[in-house]
Structure 1
Amino acid sequence: MSKDLRLEDWDRSDPDPWLALMMDRSLPIDPEAKRALLRDQRSRSRQFLLPFARPIARLSIIGAQLLHTISPNWPHAPKLLHRTIAYGMRHFLTPDANRLILRHFHLGSQILRFIADNATPGFQPELWPMRPRRIDDVRDDLFLRHDLNIYNFLIALNAELDRRGGSIGRVEALNFSAIEDEIALDPLPSGRFNVIDLQTAIELYTPAYALLLTDRDFWRATNSLQLDETIGLYVARLTGEEKHLALVVNGHPMVPHSTLRAGFRLVLHGLSTELLHGFLRELKARHAQPPVASG
């Protein structure tokens, strides 16, 4: 199986579904991120390893949660968790998987800043910085802090809106300074063992998340995924556009999903973030165009 999806490889009698998705332009996603995601999704790792990894991972999550039923606050080793994740990323994940993981923190941070810039001008909630350039940046509790940022952002933003006596509504002159077109990353490892795809890696990491964080930390992390809907609604109210909401699949945070599907929902969360950021990039480009003079 070739790594690249090329139009010259199109066989009309046996069209490649991945090539069709690559050619499709219905989704507002960065072209490089899209290529990385599709290459990763069509890999042999996802095809042959994921079906075995997923049930084992979910049984491991059940075991970890049974342990935390007895001991909700032990084990608690976030440093070990993040060092383990960083080690796995460096030695076993594909460059595409690592690129998508590191991009995600940048995009999420930009989206939150866009919302604050427009909903509460002059006020930015105090959050952990999320601009990793290399895999070692993950070691600094990056995943855990990412989850904390989302909840702290929602609390601080709405507290500020309450203080001002305002609400999130449509903004005519949107501030797009937070939305960047390029994400700068250092070169990523591409050794002989860097073959595990993003989805399989997430399924394998999730049991470690369940075991090495407290019960409360794991519950909060998995249910933060459903806040995609909340963030999407904020953007819709600010921009006056709602078409991107159809792309949100991790909805209804007041009715949490089972933590057993956290790995799959985390992949969807990453895709939802890419699509929302892509939508804002398109909107930024549209607003930058001079108005067409009426004749």
Structure 2
Amino acid sequence: MLHKREYYEKMVNEPRNPSHWHALYLDKSVPFNPDAKAAFLYDSSSKSRQFLYPVAKVFARLSIVLMQLFKIVIPNLINAPKLLHKCLYLGMKYFITPEANFVILRHFYLGSEVLRFIKDNVDGAQDIPMNPLKPLSVNEVKDNLFLEHDLNLYNFIINLNIAIAEKGLQIVKKDNPDFSAISEGEIPFENFRDGWTNFIDLGTAIELFTPVYQFYLTDNDFWRATNSLQLDEVIGIYASTIMDCPEKLTALNNKHPMIPLPTAGAAFRLLLHGFSTEVLHGMLVQRKISLQKEK
């Protein structure tokens, strides 16, 4: 995605017609990996995002509501996570932009690093089981990647807090946090397909994928998956407590992790979830580099 970064860095500003995306790329108020930021903004500025997204959003959310009504009667008729992930894999490989695939796979990779960082910095929590997900190609989506990601988040929070209750552990400020789990360099992803059919942007893809996700899972599994999107602030609080910087949670907090929201809006919340992960990881990378310079 380096060429997308260069695209914005070499862009010439026109004072009478400034670019919204150029301004956001240059802004450094929110920590964000520059390659991921360039890919995200380039993808967001596409014609697909501008024209296809509004239409897809209406039909996708209507499908979710209708499917929810159907699953009130038969909540467990379909439970096919393998088939779900086969569909997700095919959609990602052949129809989603390379930039969107880059951002999606980064999400799983970074999410695993953030959870490991928290574990490494809670004294006595080293025996908590982990299942790191670090996919390097779209092909790995077929291994129930999305479902495993949700389960990892729930199991980590549950296991960590059981250990806190049973062993008297504490999540506290660390003067010298262990940043060994946080990578700074480029993630070695395999090249993403960039054919003429790879035109669907991230936002539109998520809207379209959400009812597919709902269709192939039981009602309980889909409900659990959508509720997991409310846990960004929980993870953010853990990390910011360790680093003693609660003021940095501006782009992470959802203010209501215990209040479930309608499933129809899950696609937009998934976008925010991915954004939050990038911001939190970017914040950790900045602190890691800053401490390295101080030594």
TM-score range (shorter-chain normalised) is over 0.9
Q: Does 1:76 align with 2:59?
A: no
Q: Does 1:161 align with 2:164?
A: yes
**Which amino acid counterpart does residue 254 of structure 1 have in structure 2?**
M
**Which amino acid counterpart does residue 202 of structure 1 have in structure 2?**
I
**Which amino acid counterpart does residue 119 of structure 1 have in structure 2?**
V
1:55 is aligned, of 47, 55, 58, to 58
Partner of 2:256: 252
Between the aligned partners of 1:121 and 1:139, the Cα distance in structure 2 is 35
Q: Does 1:283 align with 2:295?
A: no
- Give the deviation of 1:69 after TM superposition: 0.6
Please say if residues 236 and 253 of structure 2, whose CA atoms lie closer than 8 Å, have aligned partners that are also in contact: no
1:232 is aligned, of 233, 236, 245, to 236
Q: Does 1:142 align with 2:145?
A: yes
SS of 1:12's partner is coil
1:177 is aligned, of 177, 180, 198, to 180
Q: Does 1:107 align with 2:110?
A: yes
Cα 1:254/1:122, change in 2 over 3 Å: closer
Between the aligned partners of 2:132 and 2:239, the Cα distance in structure 1 is 21
Partner of 1:265: 269
Please say if residues 228 and 251 of structure 1, whose CA atoms lie closer than 8 Å, have aligned partners that are also in contact: no
Partner of 2:36: 33
1:191 is aligned, of 181, 191, 195, to 195
CA RMSD of aligned residues (A): 1.5
- Give the deviation of 1:120 after TM superposition: 3.6
Please say if residues 125 and 163 of structure 2, whose CA atoms lie closer than 8 Å, have aligned partners that are also in contact: no
Q: How many residues align?
A: 290
Partner of 1:116: 119
**Which amino acid counterpart does residue 255 of structure 1 have in structure 2?**
I
- Give the deviation of 1:290 after TM superposition: 2.8
Cα 1:101/1:124, change in 2 over 3 Å: farther
**Segments of 4+ moved more than 4 angstroms:** none
Between the aligned partners of 2:81 and 2:200, the Cα distance in structure 1 is 23
Please say if residues 91 and 189 of structure 1, whose CA atoms lie closer than 8 Å, have aligned partners that are also in contact: yes
* Superimposed CA distance per residue, residues 126-165 of structure 1 (whole angstroms, 9 cap, x where no aligned partner): 2333010111100011000100000000011111122221
Between the aligned partners of 1:179 and 1:124, the Cα distance in structure 2 is 19
Query: Larger deviation: 168-177 or 143-152?
Result: 168-177
Q: Does 1:205 align with 2:209?
A: yes
Please say if residues 89 and 142 of structure 2, whose CA atoms lie closer than 8 Å, have aligned partners that are also in contact: yes
Partner of 1:94: 97
Query: Larger deviation: 253-262 or 8-17?
Result: 8-17
The alignment's TM-score, normalised by the length of structure 1, stands at 0.95
* Superimposed CA distance per residue, residues 157-201 of structure 1 (whole angstroms, 9 cap, x where no aligned partner): 111122221221111221000000132211110111111000000
Between the aligned partners of 1:229 and 1:27, the Cα distance in structure 2 is 16
**Which amino acid counterpart does residue 44 of structure 1 have in structure 2?**
K
Structure 1 residues not aligned, in runs of 5+: none
* Superimposed CA distance per residue, residues 65-112 of structure 1 (whole angstroms, 9 cap, x where no aligned partner): 112111111211111110000000000000000000000001000000
SS of 2:8's partner is coil
**Which amino acid counterpart does residue 266 of structure 1 have in structure 2?**
L
**Which amino acid counterpart does residue 30 of structure 1 have in structure 2?**
N
Query: Larger deviation: 237-246 or 35-44?
Result: 237-246
Partner of 1:85: 88
